Structure 1
Amino acid sequence: MTVLGPGEGPRLTALGSTYTTKADAAATRGGYWLVEEEFWADTTPLHSHTDAEEAFYVLSGEVAVWLDDAETTAGPGTFLLVPRGAPHGLRRLSDEAVRMLTVASPAGMEAFFAAVVEQGEEALLDDADRLIALAAAHGTEILGDYPVV
């Protein structure tokens, strides 16, 4: 059994979010990765995950989510499920970071963010082709910028 208090768990900051891991691949036998996410970037790129579903439960703040060729606003208490392979992106609407419980199933997405930290986020952001290739190697296809609404 794992018991973690508020704010406890390994932390990782990459690409506009800080992730506090509550359950990783080792704890869930590869079933899922559960994090408390603080999304502080303006947007994510439009992207899809070839091997995983992703779910978000908004705890605080407000975020716009691009999914199914439309934008939806999500505030505290909103649950969002992004099916495997569905193009999606996030756009922060609140001044403060958006706090969410985020689940990726199966686990594995955490390896991408760890690789970004290991290889150096700034260097990857300066070399879009390298970042796109790294994402693809970890099951994420970067499709472009967040759509202009």
Structure 2
Amino acid sequence: MADERFVLLAPGAARPGRIPLPPAFRVKAATEDTGGRFSLLEVVLGRDIPRHTHHRADEGVYVLDGVLEIEFDDAVHLAPRGSFVLLPHGVPHALRRASDPPPRVLQISSPGGWELYARWLGALPGGPVRGGAHRAHRRAAGSREDQSDRGALRHRLRGDTTGRADTRGLASRHHG
């Protein structure tokens, strides 16, 4: 039934999840809400996102506030409030803060999965291990080299009925 997938969020609200997210991430539409077609997050870019490549997912970013610096392929661009950028899969890119306060953006990933990275960040006691966050972002975004781990991460994040993810083994497995 169509109304089972209807979502209406009040200003500032986010989709509930089993794992509390870091305050910088607000899931507006989770991958499971859209049948895997996309995910939509509101993100305050508190830290720069290093250069990486999505092998499967296209990423769209709309700047709500502040200025976002985008490194795409080998060029650097500034995106002020109201700007939109489409980052097609297969091309290296990085996102950086170019304003204070940091930029606030809407981020859409198609197909979905990026919120798994945000949930992974919130699932680890004390935050992610060095190097692990970048691998989790690649995995959530559909990197070929990490596809075998993606299902295991999703299972761990969804499979716990207590409201807390089973993160045993993630720190040692993803230590970089």
Superposed CA deviations along residues 56-79 of structure 1, whole A, max 9, x for unmatched, are 010110111000210000001110
Task: Answer yes or no: is 1:89 the counterpart of 2:94.
Answer: yes
Shift of 1:36: 1.1
For residues 123 and 62 of structure 1, do their structure 2 counterparts lie closer, same or farther at Cα, with a shift above 3 Å needed? closer
List aligned pairs for 1:22-41, cutoff 5 A. Answer: 22-41=28-47
Q: Which ranges in structure 2 are unaligned for 5 or more consecutive residues?
A: 1-5, 145-176
For residues 123 and 79 of structure 1, do their structure 2 counterparts lie closer, same or farther at Cα, with a shift above 3 Å needed? closer
Shift of 1:110: 1.5
User: Residue 49 of structure 1 aligns to a residue in which SS?
Assistant: coil
For 1:132 and 1:101, locate their aligned partners in 2 and report how far apart those are by CA, in whole Å: 20
User: Counting strand residues as a fraction of each chain, which structure ranks higher?
Assistant: 1
- TM-score under structure 1 length normalisation: 0.79
For 1:87 and 1:39, locate their aligned partners in 2 and report how far apart those are by CA, in whole Å: 18
For residues 28 and 62 of structure 1, do their structure 2 counterparts lie closer, same or farther at Cα, with a shift above 3 Å needed? same
Equivalence for 1:12: 21
For residues 121 and 74 of structure 1, do their structure 2 counterparts lie closer, same or farther at Cα, with a shift above 3 Å needed? farther
Superposed CA deviations along residues 97-142 of structure 1, whole A, max 9, x for unmatched, are 21111100111121122223223464512xx3x455544544348x
User: Counting helix residues as a fraction of each chain, which structure ranks higher?
Assistant: 2
List aligned pairs for 1:1-149, cutoff 5 A. Answer: 1-10=6-15, 12-13=21-22, 18-41=24-47, 43-120=48-125, 122-125=127-130, 128=131, 130-131=132-133, 133-138=135-140, 139-140=142-143
For residues 62 and 132 of structure 1, do their structure 2 counterparts lie closer, same or farther at Cα, with a shift above 3 Å needed? closer
Superposed CA deviations along residues 6-35 of structure 1, whole A, max 9, x for unmatched, are 11014622xxx8111111112111110011
CA-based RMSD of the aligned residues comes to: 2.2
For 1:122 and 1:25, locate their aligned partners in 2 and report how far apart those are by CA, in whole Å: 23
Q: Which ranges in structure 1 are unaligned for 5 or more consecutive residues?
A: 142-149
Question: Greater Rg, structure 1 or structure 2?
Answer: 2
For 2:58 and 2:69, locate their aligned partners in 1 and report how far apart those are by CA, in whole Å: 18
Identity %: 31
Give the number of the structure with larger relative contact order, counting CA–CA contacts within 8 Å between residues 6 or more apart: 1
For these two proteins, the number of residue pairs brought into alignment is 134
For residues 28 and 123 of structure 1, do their structure 2 counterparts lie closer, same or farther at Cα, with a shift above 3 Å needed? closer
